[in-house]
Structure 1
Amino acid sequence: MSRAPSLREGFTTGSAATAAAVAALRFLLRGERAAEVVVMPPPRAEIQTPLRIPVAACASGPAPDVRDCPACAAILPGSAAHACVIKDGGDDPDATHKAEIRATAILLSGTEAPGDAVLLEASPLPLFLAGGPGIGRVTLPGLPVPVGQPAVNPAPRAQLCAALRDALVSASLPSGVAGLLIVLSVPEGRAIAAHTFNPRLGIVDGISILGTQGTVRPFSHAAWQASIAQGVAVAEATACPGLGMSTGRRSERLLMARYPDWPARAFVQVADFAAFSLQHAGRSSLPLLVWGCFFGKAVKLAQGHASTHARDAVLDMARLADLATACGVAHDGTLRSCVTAAHALELLLAAGAPGRRVVAAVAREAAAAAARFAGRSVRVHIFADDGSELASA
């Protein structure tokens, strides 16, 4: 029997930015045009295996897209170089897959933050970071980066600092150098960000530089859960009137229509992570928790499944059939033999008022299960494929 091929890991935007910065610094100090660089994952990553990252280009001077940035004003000849790394998401590509991640390294003659740069590390050599075109800027509280700063998360910042320190250990700096500035940029960053949750989180003008582990593991649950936690934090920090959790894009759009006065940042797509998202939301100070989904996910939640993924949660059709009988639905066992929730719903709706009572009962049971996960009340909305609301509780 042949073995299934293993899925290929990629590397994060944080690793891409770090590799580009190291390559740019080496070119600036040594004239070394590296084909690849080896960087370590962020210092707190679980696995500390060196990452070999290809470098697409190195050249002198600042990257073309950052020459007008405030932090790059009055660059002296010979004091800057840039490099580019192509982000590789492996077999789990996301919106940033194949994006150009650029870094410009600039030697500074002073120790003051140039332009809008932020200080990453004060010694032994001050290291500064600035976000160029395509790098998002944080505008709302609740994120791990202060408002007004470039959207480069703490783990990639630590990864960048550690890599630059290592690169500087064996380097001979020109006399008069008092600091180092790294300017990150992503030429297509603004367009890419439109396909991410950044606009909803108050991150404007580009993508975020992310990655707590340095690598991208295919179909990473941890990455999605981190996104859920971040969404809850932003909704809480910006005093949203509630949190609307949904299992996908369609159910989210329908939930948004149900709560039209809520801002977009009040809604978080939680996929199949029922227990995780509800527990996380339950610990927040948000005054109202709302869950929106279609019938199949609602039945799984009602039956107490922590995950509503088909792999983890099997629909108990016998239990649904018993509920139908209790609600007065006359059936000859067809509900028990249904393979899908969609077929069961079709039969229930065809039964008229008694079938509607079953759907309402599922909503109540789902709300009760959600409340157990959250530790407090949760309102559940069940939607039909045509966009109508079947029941709420």
Structure 2
Amino acid sequence: MVSSDKKDPKKMRNGFTTGACATAVTKAALMALLTNEVQKKATIHLPIGQDATFTIESCTFEEGKVTCETIKDAGDDPDATHQARILSTVRFVETPGIHLDGGIGVGRVTKPGLPVEVGQAAINPVPRKMILSTVQQIIDEYGVKCGVEVIISVPDGEEIAKKTLNGRLGIIGGISILGTRGIVVPFSSSAYMASIVQAISVAKAAGCDHLVITTGGRSEKFAMAQYPHLPEEAFIEMGDFVGFTLKHCKKQSIPQVSLVGMMGKFSKVAQGVMMVHSKSAPINFEFLAKLAQISGASDEIVEQVLTANTASQVGDLMLEKGYTRFFDLLCKSCCYESLNHIKEGMTISTSIYSMKGELLGRAENIATIDQDDWNWR
């Protein structure tokens, strides 16, 4: 991995997953145990088909076991686990087989719906397979007949986990050992999308039949106040991935979904844009102007909407002039476009809030598209 200019996404440094790090230190610890030699490097095969070499920061021999450590390098990705210490302690045991578990700083699963069973350490399937297959290959090569115990630990894992969604997902006591490819691509959306899928699965397993999907932490705070009767699992931060989240809700047969957000992103949803990143699509001010006109705005106000710089500016204008119907129509359009995107199959509500937490508009429990109502555009 070569350091580069972070301003150019094409030149950003890739990093390694916690799963790849855990595999590398496990290999190093097992090799040290077998050879009685300090290990300084460990090369492993990644799921993407490439080999990667890790620096082993420490290799500690204790009675009957070895602990090796590496420092996780997430490259240029703003990963919560960047620079985390990843350790593996390996020892031989009488019980045949490979016994993998999590130690200090590795979370434990307490809720169903995740790819790891309740009660187990939060070591996801691909990293688990990587560790087990690496150990199996080595013990086959060396003719080891006894069992092998592997304990993965992350000394600062419990503190790092506070910056993740683990608590919401029911993963208690530390971070998860993750990664399907072995590498971390800077600013990749795959990890966030995977967390959305997991959150929906956990909510489904917890018996939630009404999910509230929000665009961020602030809108989630407003949503929790709006729906105080719903459990914590029912609230999911979808970020910019509106369409993706809705489709996975439908895939999990969630019957009722409420969208909660603010003017900027929901102005795009109302237009049918289901990936609402700032660079995904521009705000259609002609659309908002038409909506303002239907809401009773004067020609002068409609012209101000057309020449506005941001959707939030439009929202402030409509609120100042008292055109509350504008927000309700915008919410209804969000519901219709969402239903259109997933080909119906669930009941959708939408609420739009101001930055200060004022409920601007809402549309409740829409399950079908009224074509006459929808075709005003």
The aligned amino acid for 1:249 is G
1:152 corresponds to? 123
For 2:108 and 2:86, how far apart are their aligned partners in 1?
Answer: 16
For 1:109 and 1:236, how far apart are their aligned partners in 2?
Answer: 40
For 1:350 and 1:269, how far apart are their aligned partners in 2?
Answer: 29
Paired residues for 1:270-281 under 5 Å: 270-281=238-249
1:30 corresponds to? 35
1:114 corresponds to? none
Contact kept, 8 Å, 2:74 with 2:184, in 1: the verdict is yes
TM-score (norm 2): 0.90
Matched residue SS, 2:305: coil
Matched residue SS, 1:372: helix
For 1:219 and 1:6, how far apart are their aligned partners in 2?
Answer: 12
The number of residue pairs the alignment matches comes to: 353
Contact kept, 8 Å, 2:327 with 2:362, in 1: the verdict is no
What is the Cα deviation at residue 89 of structure 1? Answer: 1.2
1:66 corresponds to? none
Q: What is the aligned counterpart of 1:131 among 98, 102, 127?
A: 102
For 1:336 and 1:8, how far apart are their aligned partners in 2?
Answer: 42
Matched residue SS, 2:281: coil
For 2:261 and 2:352, how far apart are their aligned partners in 1?
Answer: 5
What is the Cα deviation at residue 171 of structure 1? Answer: 2.8
What is the Cα deviation at residue 371 of structure 1? Answer: 1.8
What is the Cα deviation at residue 26 of structure 1? Answer: 1.1
For 2:140 and 2:192, how far apart are their aligned partners in 1?
Answer: 37
What is the Cα deviation at residue 325 of structure 1? Answer: 1.3
For 1:239 and 1:29, how far apart are their aligned partners in 2?
Answer: 48
The yes-or-no answer on 1:200 pairing with 2:168 is yes
Percentage of identical aligned residues: 37
What is the Cα deviation at residue 93 of structure 1? Answer: 2.6
Contact kept, 8 Å, 1:27 with 1:59, in 2: the verdict is no
For 2:288 and 2:195, how far apart are their aligned partners in 1?
Answer: 33
The aligned amino acid for 1:52 is T
Matched residue SS, 1:170: helix
What is the Cα deviation at residue 172 of structure 1? Answer: 5.7
Q: What is the aligned counterpart of 1:186 among 154, 157, 180?
A: 154
Matched residue SS, 1:378: strand
Matched residue SS, 1:390: strand
Report the aligned-residue RMSD. 1.6
Deviating beyond 6 angstroms after TM superposition, the runs of 4 or more aligned structure 1 residues are none
TM-score (norm 1): 0.86
For 1:171 and 1:338, how far apart are their aligned partners in 2?
Answer: 71
For 1:150 and 1:251, how far apart are their aligned partners in 2?
Answer: 32
2:370 corresponds to? none
For 1:93 and 1:351, how far apart are their aligned partners in 2?
Answer: 42
What is the Cα deviation at residue 110 of structure 1? Answer: 2.6
Q: What is the aligned counterpart of 2:202 among 213, 230, 234?
A: 234
What is the Cα deviation at residue 241 of structure 1? Answer: 4.1
2:54 corresponds to? 53
What is the Cα deviation at residue 148 of structure 1? Answer: 0.6
Q: What is the aligned counterpart of 1:257 among 225, 241, 249?
A: 225
Contact kept, 8 Å, 2:59 with 2:68, in 1: the verdict is yes
Q: Larger helix proportion, structure 1 or 2?
A: 2
Contact kept, 8 Å, 1:239 with 1:286, in 2: the verdict is no
The aligned amino acid for 1:6 is K
Q: What is the aligned counterpart of 1:142 among 113, 133, 139?
A: 113
For 1:350 and 1:144, how far apart are their aligned partners in 2?
Answer: 49
2:375 corresponds to? none
Unaligned runs of 5+ in 2: 364-377
Contact kept, 8 Å, 1:381 with 1:392, in 2: the verdict is yes
Contact kept, 8 Å, 1:234 with 1:265, in 2: the verdict is yes
